[in-house]
Structure 1
Amino acid sequence: MESILKSLYLSDLTLLELAGAMRREMDRGLAAKTNEGAEMRMLPTYVTGTPDGTEDGEFLAFDLGGTNFRILLVKLVAGEHKNITMNSQIYHISQEIMTGTGAQLFDHLVECLWDFLSEREITSQLLPIGFTFSFPSNHLGIDKNILLCWTKGYTASGMVGEDIGKLLNEAIDRKSKIRPLNFDLKIMAIMNDTVGTVVSCGYDDNDTCMGMIVGTGTNMAYMEKQENIELLEKKTPASEMCINAEWGAFGDKSESLKAIRTEYDIYIDENSPNKGQYIFDKMISGMYMGELLRLIIVKLISNGEIFEEIAPDSKIFSPGLSAAFVSHIVNFNNDNDQIRQCVARFGLIASDEDCNKLVQLCEAISKRAAYLCAAGVVTVAQKIAENRGPDAKMTIGVDGSVYRKHPTFAKLLHSKVRDLGGDLNVTFHETTDGSGRGAALVAAVECRLQNIRTKVPNQTEE
């Protein structure tokens, strides 16, 4: 037990060393000669503008980044009384579709879209689309990006190396031949959820220059000077562009994280669909947090250090522990009756000592994840401060279930950023819908920049 807790502890010195290594990878990713070999690819997104309050009309937003596909109809009202209203629906993505073919995946997405539009009887209007596609992609333009690799359990075949916008348009064409509907769809932008978070928070706070996701996965996007982005062929002097850092891949090719990875981290990676990829992500995100705890519990059980009473059909020996379980245990600290109820669902009978040990483990796992994120935030904030000046006000928009729902994660993150960041002026802005609202706002900004107007029908939005 003591050895495990020690292995999960990260000192400020260690975190600052990690921040230094991450900065080197950022610089490698921004340089044309070293980008391909960099762990953090620092991908240009071609998103250069944030909302200015003149955006008006109705826009569709797609959000795909986990086991759910969400569609939103977003209505923007411009002017002095600017306002945004949203009507959304969530559709489940089955394991069969996640691991099938790319055509099956996109046909399913379009089937969901047809259901969404038909149910709302939307006809005779242009519907610009902002598509949040939260997987590593190489952007070749605002509406053109190439999938680099799958994460989060997806393995749909025939998609890596393909243009996501093209695949979506082809699926729409296939569907429209079978069942035409009276509307015009136009894909305006394809982005990562972190980019959507930057733009979404930018609608409320003009100092927003970073967007971070800590949920099923984790990633960071931020505004970078175009002159520093060597991958860009055409640059606008003194202007910025949003960069998708893909920081989840930090540590993939180097030994930057080797000293702090535990045997449980290594086991998780080796038994994941994307072995050897997204090492940083697997030490932080909600997709792996519960499994990390489960592996540690199983090891302690085998050593006779925890849970002497175990039901014959206990589920603890099979994957299935979630990040929500970790959150619940931390939340129920000092309430052993509640903890006993939580573990009883997994066939475990907990003594007071077992409860105390479980709380210590969950707190240690949570703290490590928050501190690793803090090191990343400080690294990016220091880069922005170099670009904008040391006194620059920096707002970071944050979304994701771990950040929003874990009882102590946000507080731990904020505190450690202050410890590591010195005089950096960083403010955190929580958003509950960066990926959805942000996608629609990016589409709206693009419509404004391209002078595309959308027809707003007379209908009441929920």
Structure 2
Amino acid sequence: MYQNEKKQLDELLCQHNLHANCFDYRAESEHFYQSMLNGLSGENSAGLFMLPSYISVGEAIPTDRPALIIDAGGTNIRVARTHFNLDLELVVEGFANYRMPGSETQIDSREFYRLVADYLIPLLDMGEVSDLGFCFSYGAQIMPNRDGLVLALGKEVEVEGLIGTMLGEGIRAALRAAGRTEELRISVLNDTVAALLAGLGIRQARNMDNCIGYILGTGTNMACMVPGEYFKLLPPQDRYTMAVNLESGCYIPRIRSEVDAELDAGTVLPGDHVFEKMVGGQYQGLFSLYLMRFVAENSDLLSAEYRAALAAVNTPPRTKYIDSALLYPYGDNYYAALCHDGRDRAMTRLIITAMYERIAKLVCIQLGGVLRLIGAGADPSRPVAVSADGSTFYKSHGFRYILERYIYETIYRHDGRYLEFIQVENPILTGSTLAAF
């Protein structure tokens, strides 16, 4: 019934770089691959930082070896004592959740480290332990000794003097000031590297080819294990296979649309995290509104009443409203309230689906580039494990189906490579435990 409208929509989107077909998979994945190589060698990398983690995990996962875990992100900080049992299952003890120091009132760095030490002391009292994994989901530069230099904090956290300090050193000093004598080896990592490491257990158990960490939540990022010969900027002693944080949300694709440019221009940092603004959940609600308006202004596919309602709306939709529009087109939700008739509701679904298809194609471009970099996935019986995390990936209605379809059409058919998404329980705790060893 809506075949003509779908054809007209596709033609309009294709003319303005808003359709999945605007991105040539071979050319774009080649560009992404070359950008990763450039990032590793210090050349123009189209926004990719390719940050070394200095974390290299052996084939065997240590069992019955305890570690302390800190997971700091958003406005909460979580601590626990963990170990893997003989069945390679993660055992979590003493888990506690606190407000992130500095998230309620401004404090200084000395108080920050004192509070973190206080959170750890009950876990230290549970028995001997020498390893600590610290998942720090803010800006940090990882050092060869795996300590982390704080570069930035989220706007919701105010800690005077924390930027420029070393996390591991600060924690150890605070523990000594509290009278503790333990000498902890502290490994700092981010959430994407944690997701990568968390998938290694399943990869080992199933003899899968390799593993990629993938986040698609409010933002997006990827991490992978990179062979040592690629680290030309590092001294010889640091050129070994290790996890690398791509910061793939910062990637700048060759092609962008005027809608992408409009959205980017209205953000706090225009030109920053360009790829993330094209796919991340934090931006999908606003992008969908801009896309609806674009279609309304450049075609007759939407009713005059719907066009006027879209132009008049002042509050952009939250990402969850997209799901509501797909699940309940005649319900009480953001887009349903703006629609004038059944045709508007049908076109809303087609436009959102086109947005998801474009996102899926972009994700495939990055996944395909990473598979080429690590040289994995050629054996169908040993696919690459993609350890995925993030609410957008798991909860966006219909997106996984669209993504799997595009993976088949691009990575499977064009590249002859195979992957499988895996979901690990407690990926941050699991990955941080592996990083601690």
* Contact 2:68/2:433, CA 8 A, preserved across alignment: yes
Q: Give the deviation of 1:441 after TM superposition.
A: 2.3
Structure 2 counterpart of 1:134, from 137, 146, 149: 137
Out of 304, 315, 319, the residue aligned to residue 323 of structure 1 is 319
Coordinate RMSD, CA, aligned: 4.0
- Counterpart position of 1:247: 248
Rate the CA distance shift 1:44–1:409 in 2: closer, same or farther, 3 A.
Answer: same
Once residues 181 and 341 of structure 1 are traced to their aligned partners in structure 2, the CA distance between those partners, rounded to angstroms, is 59
* Secondary structure in 2 matching 1:428: strand
Which secondary structure state, in structure 1, belongs to the residue aligned with residue 235 of structure 2? Answer: coil
CA distance 1:18–1:93, change in 2 (3 Å) = farther
- Aligned-partner Cα distance in 2 for 1:59–1:187: 10
Work out whether 1:268 is the aligned partner of 2:271.
Answer: no
Report the alpha carbon displacement of residue 289 of structure 1 after superposing the two structures with TM: 1.0
Deviation string, structure 1 residues 128-162 (Cα, Å, up to 9, x no partner): 43122234543222432335566x76686877972
Segments of 5+ residues of structure 2 without an aligned counterpart are: 1-7
Structure 1 counterpart of 2:3? none
For residues 74-113 of structure 1, the aligned pairs below 5 Å read: 74-79=81-86, 81-86=87-92, 88-91=95-98, 97=103, 107=111, 111=115
Instruction: Specify whether residues 261 and 161 from structure 1 end up closer, same or farther in structure 2 by C-alpha distance, changes over 3 A only.
Output: farther
% identity of equivalent residues: 18
Q: 1:349-400: per-residue Cα shift (whole Å, max 9, x none)?
A: 6532332222222222222222211110001101211xx6954742221111
* Partners of 1:109 and 1:315 in 2: CA distance: 49
Query: Structure 1 residues 51-60 or 219-228, which shifts more?
Result: 51-60
Q: CA deviation at 1:243?
A: 1.2
Q: Is the 8 A contact 2:377 2:384 kept in 1?
A: no
Aligned partner of 2:369 in structure 1 is 379
1:284 alignment partner in structure 2 = 279
Paired with 1:61 and 1:270, the residues of 2 have a C-alpha distance of 39
What amino acid sits opposite 2:400 in the alignment? A
Looking at structure 2, the residues matched to 375 and 219 of structure 1 have their Cα atoms a distance apart, in angstroms, of 13
Per-residue CA deviations over 1:320-355 (Å, capped at 9, x if unaligned) read x3222223333x1xx533xx22228x9646532332
What does residue 218 of structure 1 align with?
220
Count of residues paired in the alignment: 414
How big is the shift at 1:115?
A: 5.8
| 1:290-369 matched pairs, under 5 angstroms | 290-297=285-292, 305=302, 308=305, 316-319=313-316, 321-330=317-326, 332=327, 335-337=328-330, 340-343=331-334, 348=338, 351-369=341-359
Do residues 26 (structure 1) and 36 (structure 2) align? yes
Residue 149 of structure 2 aligns to a residue in which SS? strand
Task: From 418, 421, 428, give the equivalent of 1:425.
Answer: 418
Are the aligned partners of 2:150 and 2:167 in contact in 1 as well (CA < 8 Å)?
no
Distance apart, 1:402 and its partner CA: 1.1
Q: How far apart, in 2, do the equivalents of 1:155 and 1:91 lie?
A: 14
Query: 1:266 Cα deviation (Å)?
Result: 2.0
Question: Matches of 1:266 and 1:159 in 2, distance apart?
Answer: 35
Query: Hey, what does 2:396 align to over in structure 1?
Result: 406
For the pair 1:440 / 2:436, whether they are aligned, the reply is: no
Please list the CA deviations of residues 413-449 of structure 1 after superposition, one character each: whole Å capped at 9, or x if unmatched.
Answer: 2332232223113222123532232112211xx2xxx
Deviation at 1:186, TM superposition (A): 3.2
Deviation at 1:285, TM superposition (A): 0.8
